[in-house]
Chain A
Amino acid sequence: MALLRHTNQPAVERQALTINPAKTCQPVGALYAALGVHNCLPHSHGSQGCCSYHRSVLTRHYKEPVMAATSSFTEGSSVFGGQSNLLAAIENIFTLYAPDIIAVHTTCLSETIGDDIPQIAAKAQNEGKIPAGKFVIHANTPSYVGSHVTGFANMTKSLVSYFAEKGPAKLRTVNVVPGWVEPADMREIKRIAALMGVEIILFPDTSDVLDAPQIGKHEFYPRGGVTVQALRKTGSSQATIALGPTASGSAALELEKKCEVEATMLELPIGLRATDAFIDALRRIAGVEVPQALKDERGRLMDVITDMHQYFYGKRVALWGDPDQLVSLAGFLADVDMQPVYTVTGTPGRAFEERLTRVLAGRVPGVRMRQGAQADMFLLHQWIKEQAVDLLVGNTYGKYIARDENIPLVRHGFPILDRVGHAYFPSVGYLGGIRMLEKILQALQDKQDRDCPEEAVELVM
């Protein structure tokens, strides 16, 4: 029997209720962003549960230890404010865990009682609780605003607000804000830039943090992460490339405002054209040539697309997840002649629908998209019940629909709670494009092999 057996009825418009969300709350995004800073301990200013949940979900996704501290609010702190908790926390953290930076993010509780983090941090500074050369930074991330993606954006923007400095002279560096992508994606972005001979400052950077090697001990602060020194230099870079406006846009704009570093807004470089745009921006800003090695990678992706296009024609796809990921994925799928007909994201913001419409450019008849309230997995399932799709692309929460409707699922995005290894392979860049297409075709053909009539099983496909 179907796990989601109650979805069967005709779609009734809901006004209030969210069923099986396609988003989560801001603080986890702030925590993830802070993990991409070297020697930084994320700190959750709220109840213990928030921090515990965020660490658990990140651990389930990355299969890595995730360190973060909490103010451990009690009933008293919720009445009298969380100042004393945060002061004690700052002292305890620097004593015991010795980070360079404590990155405080707020929660719905601390926001609503009105805790002023900069004021509390200043008090800690005055009372000598912050050792010389160490920092307490913060981002406001109430859980009742935005989503995990905007939480990531807010903390990333804070890295600029706290650290970026406009130096006396421009440096050769280019800032790249990668958005909420896997550590392997960040590593791939750095590899591409290095191939082109462009010196980039990538922030945040969770490679070598959430894909740390086995060395027989637990490194409380793994060796990866952008350094404070590099963050300072972002204010003197040639330009900033924001990959994905939702997750990366505000940091790039802040750099433009604060340090007059020009911002270039791009879509996440997933797929052929989005990767082209990224590489072209790097080339243009740094004044370099695209090396043959990278042209060859592009050629190989093109070759794979030509080999595969016959299987992709007209395949209907449903997508869910985060706006930046969805826009680029949908564009890529349309480029290889698939039909990304349904897209939902719980992350609110009308710009998403405009961006998606622009990237699809009228190529997908009957396209349906929804963002924000009630844009959830239940709605997506109702659409699929009305007219089926051939493929699902999104996080683990699609597995109920995949099973009930017997539709292949390609796992992508956050969180993936039921598989291991996804954090090690990029989906960005030309190589990432090849990997995405291989996964998609394999899912489609595995289903065909399993479900087709006996006489139709083909050895050569």
Chain B
Amino acid sequence: MTRDDAILDERRAQVLRNGADGPAMACGKTSAAGSVSQRACVFCGSRVVLYPIADAVHLVHGPVGCAVYTWDIRGALSSGPQLHRNSFCTDLQETDVIHGGEKKLTRCLRELVTTYRPNAAFVYSTCIAGIIGDDIGAVCRKATAEYGIPVIPVMSEGFKGTKKDGYRAACEALASLIGTGDTTGISPHSINILGEFNIAGETWIIRDYLTAMGINVVATMTGDGRVPDIRRAHGAKLNLVQCSGSMVHLAKEMESRYGIPFKRVSYFGIEDMSQALYDVAEFFGDAPMLRRAQELVHRELTALLPALRDYRRDLTGRRAAIYVGGAFKAFSLVRALRHLGMQTVVVGSQTGNADDYRQLKELCDPGTIIVDDSNPVELAAFVREKGVDLFIGGVKERPIAYKLGIGFCDHNHERKRALAGFVGMLNFAREVHATVTSPVWNYVPRRRRLQEAV
């Protein structure tokens, strides 16, 4: 097999080799029919964004599968209610498909509200709800009036675009909540945290840093999120937006509606985390706050850098492949891996845009393979070609990496240790070290072949 045989012709424009001449990355395309794509759908995008709001009920209006596959699959931690960890579903049946599902949805909402007394309800539309033409908006408006809580439709029919469109639908649902709460008592040094989902408690880490700098965090969207906080989010002076695609739309919306500026940040890796804190301090133009930020960074790095040294010694020269949902995360990962002495030789995302890929080209070394919306056959071929020691990806990539005899780090839903913040950098180093230097690779055929080749 020649090295690019694994690539479908119509996908060639979505793979580039850094430094080689060629056209710009073609991205934002729907996946080729018949490809074993690693991507999900609109509904998935909406569901992952909203699900961490822990004092709301999340009702899936559709078949049971859509509800089951999104039932508590991300460790989005809540410090209080655990309502979001339940799976609520209208479980549409054939008769509902024939006669319409609005009545069933209405009854489900009644049963939900009387059982749980939530602060809000999100109702997710699915492929089937869209196709049979249920007027979810109308049902939600009636329920809002009847129960006195916001019942918010999320227009997330699976076929209506890509996961990114699902993020957008989620942002629109959030936008309908924002602006409905009382903003009195919010400090002039106040922010919202957007695009942070509190996987393994990461929102708490960021929140602690910001609080230590003297900042009042109004709402976190959506990690450890609460409806009353979100309703008054328009009282904050700044939005901090993490994660490439998921919440920039909301930040822009809040900017135009309420004049709240936003900053795109990443909390992953030393430079990006520090920069995020400095950006905030700079925004408020408050000298004591900047000093507190500098002290915090100094304190954290004094502990972190010596702790990283041993990991770096073992990992220097090792090679990594990255395949993540959003490209923004990939930037941070490339930089963080450099801190560990590792080189990124393959990098890709499910949802990156042209600008993201331009930035990746600048950031990565010559020869790095950069890919949009990849699939297992391609990824396996790239990884073999580049002799990779570590794969960073999500649930579907893990077993492929293991089959190839390569270490793996989950930087997606299933990370179990916080990887954000300074402490997260240490956790990341530990996790990478654990898998890359595991003795198990001494016994797998790939490593034996490599050793024999020496």
Contact = CB atoms under 8 A, between A and B. Distances in A.
Interface of A: 3-6, 9, 12, 14-21, 23-28, 43, 46-57, 59-60, 63-75, 77-78, 85-86, 88-93, 95-97, 107-109, 112-113, 142-145, 147, 212, 214-220, 346, 373, 378, 397, 400
A215 B88 contact: no
A15 B6 CA distance: 51
A205 to B, nearest CB: 20
Given A5-B82, A48-B41, A72 B31 contact: yes
Contacts of A74: 30, 159, 161
Contacts of A71: 33-34
A108 B403 contact: no
A11 B19 CA distance: 65
B85 interface: yes
Contacts of B115: 6, 9, 12, 17, 19
Nearest to B88: A19
A142 B96 CA distance: 13
B85 A3 contact: yes
Contact of B159 (A53, A75, A397): A75
Nearest to A87: B33
10 contacts: A25-B63, A28-B65, A43-B34, A53-B66, A68-B36, A70-B37, A71-B33, A73-B127, A92-B10, A218-B403
A92 B8 CA distance: 8
A212 B34 CA distance: 24
Contacts of A20: 71, 86-87
B89 interface: yes
A75 B162 CA distance: 10
B252 interface: no
A48 B403 CA distance: 25
Contacts of B132: 112
Interface in B38-61: 38-44
Interface centre among B38, B128, B445, by most chain A C-beta atoms within 10 angstroms, is: B128
B44 A88 contact: no
Contact of A52 (B30, B38, B160): B38
Interface string B155-192: 00011111000000000000000000000000000000
B380 interface: yes
Contacts of A143: 62-66, 128
Given A19-B87, A218-B404, A69 B35 contact: yes
A92 B375 CA distance: 13
A53 B40 contact: yes
Nearest to A112: B131
A88 B34 contact: yes
Given A3-B82, A28-B65, A88-B32, A53 B108 contact: no
Q: Most B CB atoms within 10 A — which of A4, A14, A48?
A: A48
A100 B219 CA distance: 54
Nearest to B85: A3
Contacts of B6: 96
B76 to A, nearest CB: 14
- Most B-side CB within 10 Å, residue of A47, A49, A71: A49
Interface stretch (B291-299, B393-401, B423-431): B393-401
Contacts of A14: 111
Contacts of B64: 18, 21, 23-25, 143, 147, 346
Contact of B30 (A5, A56, A72, A95): A72
A56 B159 contact: no
B91 A91 contact: no
Contacts of A91: 34
A335 to B, nearest CB: 32
A378 B70 CA distance: 17
A77 B82 contact: no
A162 to B, nearest CB: 20
A109 to B, nearest CB: 4
Given A52-B40, A109-B159, A86 B111 contact: no
Interface string B83-123: 10111111111101100000010011001101110000000
B446 to A, nearest CB: 4
Contacts of A54: 69
Interface in B302-356: none
Interface in B398-450: 398-400, 402-405, 444-449
* Most chain B beta-carbon contacts within 10 A, residue among A50, A54, A95, A108: A108
B221 interface: no
B363 interface: no
B83 to A, nearest CB: 7
A437 B108 CA distance: 40
Nearest to A68: B36
B34 A57 contact: no
Contacts of A109: 127-128, 131, 158-159
B28 interface: no
B86 to A, nearest CB: 6
